[in-house]
Amino acid sequence: MITTQREIQGLASAWQESRALLAAVELDLFTHAGAGATAPEIAALARTDPRCTDRLLSVMVTLGFMEKRGGRYYNSPGADEYLVRGRERYMSNLHHLAHTFRNWATLAEAVRAGTAVVDTRWESDDRREAFIEAMHRRARYEAEGLAARLALSGARRILDVGGGSGVYSMAMCRAREELEAVVLDLPEVTRLTRRYVAEAGLEDRISTVDGDYLTADFGVSKYDLVFFSAIVHINSPQENQSLMDRAFAALRPGGCIAVQDFIMEDDRLDPPSGALFALNMIVNTRAGDTYTRSEVAGWLDQAGCVNVKYEKTGPTTGMITGERK
């Protein structure tokens, strides 16, 4: 619980350090620093102003991301591992955070209006690719574990709705050799999906379908599993009910719908990160939100599912499944 002015001031100004880090990532300053460089050298590579670049680099030193010795800036071990482009563990998802930061500046206006007050459409191919890469990087470490939780025995065909890079489809296909997956997403996304799938060597088992999941026909009795990950929080309750209705129709008898997301307790306070993410949906979507266990289970129940169950899948996420008789 916050009790002092100092604590309030610290929290209220914390965005400054965050924005400085994101700016350094956007400008690739850690990459340009290489094995050590002066501010003018880094600025020449980043095509930035030398004086302002020096001031931003100084902040990176004060935050512990860099060291300064003999007028040259050197990455810390952590920055060298996570913030240098091309490294195996490069945190490319920070570019997506930099994009969403701008929308968060409109939070007060969005709360007044009850919806996002900025254009929520993709502004550029770069922004779209940054988002898909961020989601791929976040999910690839948990996808294998989630595939193991799903009842894939006997399943032969799945529909991955709004599947982005196809990261979960890849994990499920690796978990079960007989499985084939279809990733449905917008055409500007599926071209990226096919690239990720090709890199994984799974083109013969994972295909794509172009479509807007809010209006697409999922077909009738075609799939053993219809999977949604990080999808329902983008939509209104009415849109999510429509998704579950169409997903249910697309199931073969004995098939399953699985919804993974921030699944909130009914008081909407747990997990705390889900409460904060609800604000992210307010500034970035027309009607998105984080939803409770009873809300998600209710959509599945109304669609016709039986044996509706919840399980925790991570520190901040959960999954609710329902079956078709």
Report the catalytic residues.
Answer: 233
One-letter amino acid at 237 equals P
Beta bridge partners of 161: 184, 228
Cα 166 to Cα 223: distance, rounded to the nearest angstrom: 17
Is residue 246 a contact partner of residue 219, using CB atoms and an 8 Å limit? Answer: no
The single-letter DSSP state of residue 15 is H
| Sign of the CA dihedral with 184 first, then 319, 120, and 17 last | negative
Cα 96 to Cα 84: distance, rounded to the nearest angstrom: 16
What is the residue-wise DSSP string for 43-89?
HHHHT--HHHHHHHHHHHHHTTSEEEETTEEEE-HHHHHHSSTTSTT
Q: Computed over its alpha carbons, how large is the radius of gyration of the chain?
A: 22
By C-alpha distance, which of 211, 210, 278, 216 is closest to 242? 216
Question: Are β-strands 72-75 and 66-69 bridged in parallel, bridged antiparallel, or unpaired?
Answer: antiparallel
Question: Are β-strands 291-292 and 263-264 bridged in parallel, bridged antiparallel, or unpaired?
Answer: parallel
What kind and span of H or E run contains 248? helix 237-250
Cα–Cα distances (Å) from 234 to 28, 198, 213, 284, 288, in that order, read: 30, 28, 11, 9, 4
